[in-house]
Amino acid sequence: MSTHAVTVVEVGEVRPHPNAERLDIVAVGPWQVVVKRGEFVRGQRAVYVEPDYVVPTTRPEFAFLAKAGKDKHRLKAVRLRGELSFGLLLPLPPEISDAPVGTNVMETLGIARYEPPAGKAGTFADEMAHDRWPSTHAPKFDLENYNHFPSIITPGEHIVCTEKVHGANARYVYIDGEFFMGSRNRWVKQDGNHIWTRAAANNPNIEKWCRTYEGMVLYGEIYGAVQSLKYGLDKDVRFTGFAAVHHGVWLRQPVLFPSLADFDVPHVPIIYSGPFDIDRIKEIAEQDSVIAETPGHMMEGVVIVPSKERYHSLIGRVALKYISNRYWLSNA
């Protein structure tokens, strides 16, 4: 499960902005933030809020972000005088002035993780009654950001790097004589007018695969007319698979992907397979999308999974996302 937190950090390197005499660039772990000149020094404790968190502009620390008629503001990545700036760095407010590095102050400061609107994905009216949910282990699928756990995948470890598709999470499984479909958090009615039925109807082979591998939960992304990146599909939706689990055991991608191909069920594009090198991954993430119908569409980012499935005490199954700068800036 993905961890959402706003923490007290120790400021890293502080250097002058090359194009602005009144600005500095501050390193916060793998991120960088553009700040007012002289506001922070190396080793200082501060609060760092990443992009895609929502801050209350009713608090004095965030009041400068207020817009007419709104009491909240979603933080994004921006380019300031030619330099990327991710999120917001602020001095410790008085009520947490003694908080040590690593303290999660998200609740104290009234900050929330940004959740995109349901849009065309579906509503709670589409949810299946809980007593009819499938009797299987189908954990919520979330990915941690590589920037939070940069040491979990070691340099040189053999990995598979796939395109991270921007859409809506989907789960499909055939069990107890019934074909089930669901989102990240809930199982939905098979006869509902939502993207999960549309995707399954567009490719009946999804159900055929699930019937063949009864009890195995197939995970994937429904994309197209779903989120801001439409990949050339302005009105249609499609499914692409990326993982499968059976009784708590995740199927290795070198096994899963060929099995999906045998049924003409698409899987996420493999962009790279080989020794892990974060500089190489960063380059790959900025390329055009492979799954898009037409050229010129950006990738949201990539997903990095060890070729040999393994677990880590901090995140469980090892699978990390790396988001492209192109995508961060597209939300600015």
Choose the weakest-confidence range: 109-123, 215-229, 294-308. Answer: 109-123
Contacts of 27-36 with CB under 8 Å at 24 or more apart are 28/89, 29/147, 29/150, 30/146, 30/147, 30/150, 31/86, 31/87, 31/147, 32/83, 32/84, 32/85, 32/86, 33/85, 33/86, 33/87, 33/88, 33/89, 34/80, 34/81, 34/83, 34/85, 35/89
Asked whether the predicted pLDDT for residue 2 surpasses 70, the reply is no
The model's pLDDT over 75-96, given as tens digits with 9 standing for 90+, comes to 999 999 999 999 999 999 999 9
In a domain, 119, yes or no: no
103 and 130 in a single domain? The answer is: no
- Residue 141 confidence (pLDDT): 84
Integer Cα distance of 144 and 146 in angstroms: 6
**Which of residues 87, 113, 139 is at a domain's end?**
113
84 and 141 in a single domain? The answer is: no
The model's pLDDT over 229-249, given as tens digits with 9 standing for 90+, comes to 999 998 899 999 999 999 888
223 and 88 in a single domain? The answer is: no
- Residue 206 confidence (pLDDT): 98
pLDDT band at 294 (very low <50, low <70, confident <90, very high): confident
Asked whether the predicted pLDDT for residue 116 surpasses 80, the reply is no
In a domain, 1, yes or no: no
Q: Looking at residues 18-34, what average pLDDT do you find?
A: 94
Which one is predicted more confidently, 1 or 246? Answer: 246
Q: Looking at residues 273-277, what average pLDDT do you find?
A: 97
- Residue 110 confidence (pLDDT): 96
Integer Cα distance of 264 and 258 in angstroms: 10
198 and 246 in a single domain? The answer is: yes
314 and 184 in a single domain? The answer is: yes
- Residue 295 confidence (pLDDT): 86
Asked whether the predicted pLDDT for residue 122 surpasses 60, the reply is no
Asked whether the predicted pLDDT for residue 327 surpasses 90, the reply is yes
Asked whether the predicted pLDDT for residue 227 surpasses 90, the reply is no
206 and 100 in a single domain? The answer is: no
Arithmetic mean of pLDDT over the chain: 92
149 and 108 in a single domain? The answer is: no
Q: Looking at residues 137-163, what average pLDDT do you find?
A: 91
CATH number at residue 132: 3.30.470.30
Integer Cα distance of 164 and 281 in angstroms: 12
206 and 322 in a single domain? The answer is: yes
Integer Cα distance of 258 and 17 in angstroms: 49
Please, are residues 195 and 134 in contact by the beta-carbon 8 Å criterion? Answer: no
Report the percent of the chain where pLDDT is more than 90: 75
Report the percent of the chain where pLDDT is more than 70: 96
183 and 232 in a single domain? The answer is: yes
Asked whether the predicted pLDDT for residue 125 surpasses 80, the reply is no
109 and 147 in a single domain? The answer is: no
24 and 134 in a single domain? The answer is: no
**Which of residues 55, 80, 113 is at a domain's end?**
113
Q: What is the pTM of this model?
A: 0.81
CATH number at residue 106: 2.40.50
- Number of structural domains (the chain) is 2
In a domain, 118, yes or no: no
- Residue 188 confidence (pLDDT): 92
In a domain, 211, yes or no: yes
- Residue 259 confidence (pLDDT): 98
In a domain, 2, yes or no: no
**Which of residues 63, 86, 113 is at a domain's end?**
113
200 and 277 in a single domain? The answer is: yes
The model's pLDDT over 174-206, given as tens digits with 9 standing for 90+, comes to 999 999 999 988 999 988 889 999 999 999 999
Residue 65 is part of which domain span? 7-113
